[in-house]
Amino acid sequence: MNDQNKAYLYAGLAIFFWSTVASAFKIALRHLDYLHLLFFASLTSTLLLFLILLVQRKIHLVLNSSLSGISRSMLLGFLNPFLYYLILFKAYSLLPAQVAQPLNMVWPIVLVFLSVPLLKHTVKKKSYLALFVSFIGVYLISSQGTFFHPCESNILGVILALGSSIIWSLFFIYNVRDSREEVVKLFLNFLFATFYIFCFIFLFSDFSFPGPKGLLAAIYTGFFEMGITFVLWLKALRLTKSADQISNFVYLAPFFSLIFIHIFVGENIYSSTVVGLILIVGGIIIHRIRFPVKH
């Protein structure tokens, strides 16, 4: 198998696992609260990434981390996975999976507008069109099948699901500026995030050990949302001849996710969810289109 076919294989596995995690979130939240879901998922990812570093013989990169690198991981780990998943899991606890999952997809559009004050980028006209198209998608998804009754969903849940995209965009901007080894950064981020969520539960909740179903769902989340799937995706990007070809596969994940949500969570998928998701993805594609320059 040549490198390009291997890239497609790794990307396909990543897309498959990412497509299942929205269902895993909802199943886990039936058996434990969102705080404990985050703690056990984050702990799982931390241990998994530590094992990956051992296998790759990169532990020395962690041990030799500079003070500035540790400080950066403390900040990035606070943004993601701690704050990002704290907000996202709370949104999933308030909304159907078919609503929370696509609302979280708007982050590429949010990223464009955050890059203006943070990176001094300019916003092109097509980005405003992309924002408008995606906003219509958000409206339809929030209506939960009642097209003319906006925000039929839990309002707080909608705000949190959309707000999580802001946190992810901030993380993306600051993470891109960090030139350290990706798996090392990810491990340190999760290490600090696990500490943060443990302290958060200690201060604001009661720590309890979940039953086997909740624990398995949390471990699955840690493995396939936060941990090994990211490593598979990085592997695909390293092997492919064209990063754009691989990146476009990501847009298949939310549609496959709806199938899994219907099968495993038991939600009847609204037509408004499908149309809204098409519009959100369409808005992202509009933003990515490169129009030819006239000479």
Domain count along the chain: 1
- 293 lies in some domain: no
- 295 lies in some domain: no
| Distance of alpha carbon 83 from the chain centroid | 12
Instruction: Please give the Cα distance from 132 to 141 (Å, whole number).
Output: 14
Q: Pick from 229, 265, 277: which is nearest to 15 by CA?
A: 229
| Distance of alpha carbon 208 from the chain centroid | 26
Instruction: Please give the Cα distance from 272 to 278 (Å, whole number).
Output: 10
Residue 161 has a pLDDT of 92
Residue 79 has a pLDDT of 95
- 51 lies in some domain: yes
Residue 284 has a pLDDT of 82
Answer for the pair 263, 132: CB distance below 8 angstroms, yes or no. no
Tens-binned pLDDT, residue by residue, of the chain (295 aa): 788 888 889 889 988 999 999 999 999 999 999 999 999 999 999 999 999 999 999 999 999 999 999 999 999 999 999 999 999 999 999 999 999 998 888 887 888 888 878 877 787 788 888 888 888 888 888 877 776 565 567 889 999 999 999 998 899 888 878 888 888 999 999 999 999 999 999 998 888 888 898 899 999 999 988 778 888 887 887 888 777 667 777 788 889 999 999 999 999 998 889 999 999 888 888 877 765 544 4
- 284 lies in some domain: yes
DSSP for 139-169, written as a single string: HHHHHTT-TTSTT-S-HHHHHHHHHHHHHHH
Residue 295 has a pLDDT of 43
- 125 lies in some domain: yes
Answer for the pair 123, 98: CB distance below 8 angstroms, yes or no. no
Residue 283 has a pLDDT of 86
Residue 293 has a pLDDT of 46
Residue 147 has a pLDDT of 63
- 230 lies in some domain: yes
Q: Which domain holds residue 106?
A: 3-288
